[in-house]
Amino acid sequence: MGWFDRLTRRQEEGDGGSAAVRRIAAGLAALPPQEARTLAAFAYLLGRVAFADDEVSAAESARMEQLVVEVGKVPPEQAVLVVEIAKAQNRLVGHVENFQVSRELRDLADEPQRRRVLDCLFAVSAADDEISSAEESQVRQIASELGFSHGEYVEARAAWSKHRTVLRGLRREGG
């Protein structure tokens, strides 16, 4: 059983959760409700990072779709739907729902699963080969909301250092 399967079995059945998650999950009617909500929260957080700089690139969308297929174990055409709804929800109500969605996923996932989510957030932010300061800040905020310490965040971020625009500027100046 994969981490996604275990993740979806951790919360009791019901209609709880944020409005954004419920709207995304409605697009996943073929999945069990619990699994749909979990996948929706995951996709929403990916979209939150992608939209951190007020636009979502084609590379970021493609990476989100790939991660939803890999982690969510859904067909590619369903991943496209999930990602499009997640991006729309971030544009429309992101500022209102952000913390609630992060808290929801934090409550559903164990530590290894949350670490995988954190890595996926960096993967989306680096999809266009650059992690902007806005994206990095958003990942940091989500990491905190998922229960990670600053040290744990820095450790996870280290694997993505070559994509950080803030470090690229320093490398150019330093020679």
Give dist(CA 79, CA 94) in Å, integer. 20
171 has a pLDDT exceeding 60: no
Higher pLDDT, 57 or 10: 57
Confidence of residue 39 (pLDDT cuts 50, 70, 90): confident
Residue position matching structure tokens 């934090």:
106
Contact 34, 8 (CB under 8 A): yes
Whole-prediction pTM value?
0.81
Higher pLDDT, 109 or 127: 127
Confidence of residue 76 (pLDDT cuts 50, 70, 90): very high
Amino acid, single-letter form, for residue 147: G
What is the mean predicted confidence (pLDDT) over 1-30? 56
Domain 3-174: give its CATH architecture.
Answer: Orthogonal Bundle (1.10)
Within 8 A by CB and 6+ apart from 110, the residues are 6, 7, 10
